[in-house]
Chains A and B, each alone.
Chain A
Amino acid sequence: MNEELDSQLSAMFDNELPAAECELLARRLSRDADLKARWGRYAVIGAVIRAERGVALDGTMAGRVSAALSSEPALSIDTAPASRRSRASSWWQPLSGAGLAAGVAVVSILWLRSQALPGGSPVAAPVMVATRTATFGSPSAQGALQAASATTTPDSFVVPPIQQRPMMVVPATELADYVVAHSAFSWPVSRGNLLSSLMVSEPGTSSTPAESDQRAPRVQGNATQNPK
């Protein structure tokens, strides 16, 4: 028996041998009777040094265990699939983490919304769509908005209420004057859309109804003079 092998055996007995070397030596150890006997004597040396009184050192118990297990079937656990199984069972862990993070984000948004809104009342998305349509669309849409506001239960919490939109702060007449004054430099398509929106803006935002009526044809006239 070579000295390097014995040195490895001694280190393995102390759990001080690298894992890769353990694999090789374990295979040889389980089959080599001389090596196994030496291993057993290493254990005896340790027991004597530790002065383990009352413990038999003649090795009969190891023989009895071996004899008792001789009738037992050999185990056949493939450890590699077990590790693969553990890897396979852990694939969902990142997804569950992302799901948890998304859940926390949703809860946070709901909480912030409830804190930001007066009275904590949520605003329904369908109501907001109707509100924006009423603001820039026909007056008949306002009736639909009022009906929807009265009957629809809020079910969305994303869009802020229309009353708080800064867009309503700018008077429509001043905005119309600004757009008309710069219409020569704007792109015709966007200019047409913007002007048509201004023309149907709600009357309450104008300085006076007369002003609104007077300016509207002028704006429309400018718009039609510049089709492109």
Chain B
Amino acid sequence: MSADASDLSLVRRVQRGDKGAFDVLVLKYQHKLVKLVMRYVRNPAEAEDIAQEAFIKAYRALPQFRGESAFYTWLYRIAINTAKNAVVSRDRSPIEYNVDRGSTDNEESYDMQGRMKDSETPEGLVLTDEIRSTVNAAIDALPEDLRTAIVLRELEGLSYEEIAAAMACPVGTVRSRIFRAREAIDRRLREVFEGGLGRTEELG
């Protein structure tokens, strides 16, 4: 099984003219890309703009993508170059981010600092808070085996095979546990999105 088969199948669809497949890729990688760009710019709103620009550049460059490297590697390279160019053009240094931030332990104060410069709407901030608290509550409510499986996958980035070895169970069981964990969390999360602020419908 190719580790990049999922992304590659979507990329091939985009290359054949299916724009909807690119939406799927954006949905999957938007958060990771913003987090990556935030190593270069301190403002989350600016990071989102750069990530958005990187996605658009990636779409335009997709005809040249041959699948010789993983899609996310290729996408990350575009995002890093876009971020570096943005930093240079705005005369900002990535080092400034580390100096101001001081310590990585101070995540919460950094988050608040970023928020003060954030140009997002108050509704967006409220929704992000609500999503975060809902997901965390749902994870806490999960049975131990489901929670362990989903955390090993999402937080540690382990493959199903590695998780199976760690939990001493078959790979099929890992796949089932992760799926059931996601389903349990998603049931609560859907209520938040369908409560009036869900914006992913814009992509439908």
Contacts and interface: CB of A to CB of B under 8 A. Distances in A.
Contacts of A48: 131-132, 135-136
A110 interface: no
Interface string B54-83: 011001101100100000000000000000
B92 interface: no
B186 interface: yes
B200 A51 contact: no
B14 to A, nearest CB: 6
A83 to B, nearest CB: 10
Contacts of B16: 75-79
A26 interface: yes
24 contacts: A10-B175, A15-B6, A17-B1, A17-B5, A19-B5, A25-B9, A27-B13, A29-B10, A42-B182, A43-B28, A43-B31, A44-B31, A48-B135, A49-B155, A54-B114, A58-B131, A59-B27, A59-B203, A61-B26, A61-B51, A61-B52, A64-B52, A65-B52, A76-B17
B40 to A, nearest CB: 13
B179 A6 contact: yes
Instruction: Tell which of A25, A31, A54 has the most Cβ of chain B within 10 Å.
Output: A54
Given A12-B6, A54-B110, A57-B31, A41 B176 contact: no
Contact of B19 (A43, A52, A69): A69
Name the 8 nearest CB pairs between A and B, nearest first. Answer: A33-B204, A30-B20, A47-B31, A19-B5, A63-B202, A74-B17, A48-B135, A22-B9
A106 B54 CA distance: 54
* B interface, size bucket: 35 or more
B179 A59 contact: no
A41 B150 contact: no
A51 B9 CA distance: 29
Interface string B181-204: 011011001100100011111111
Contact of A61 (B7, B34, B115, B185): B34
Interface in B114-151: 114-115, 120, 123-124, 127-128, 131-132, 135-136, 139, 150-151
B124 A60 contact: yes
Given A30-B24, A37-B204, A52-B35, 18 more contacts: A6-B179, A10-B183, A11-B160, A19-B1, A33-B204, A36-B27, A40-B27, A41-B186, A50-B35, A55-B35, A57-B131, A59-B200, A65-B55, A68-B56, A72-B19, A74-B19, A75-B14, A78-B16
B28 A57 contact: no
A53 interface: yes
A40 to B, nearest CB: 4
A40 B14 contact: no
Contacts of A36: 20, 23-24, 27, 200, 203-204
Determine which residue in A19, A22, A27, A70 has the highest number of CB atoms from chain B within 10 A of its CB, and name it: A22
Contacts of A65: 23, 26, 30, 52, 55-56
Interface residues on A, range: 35 or more
B6 A13 contact: yes
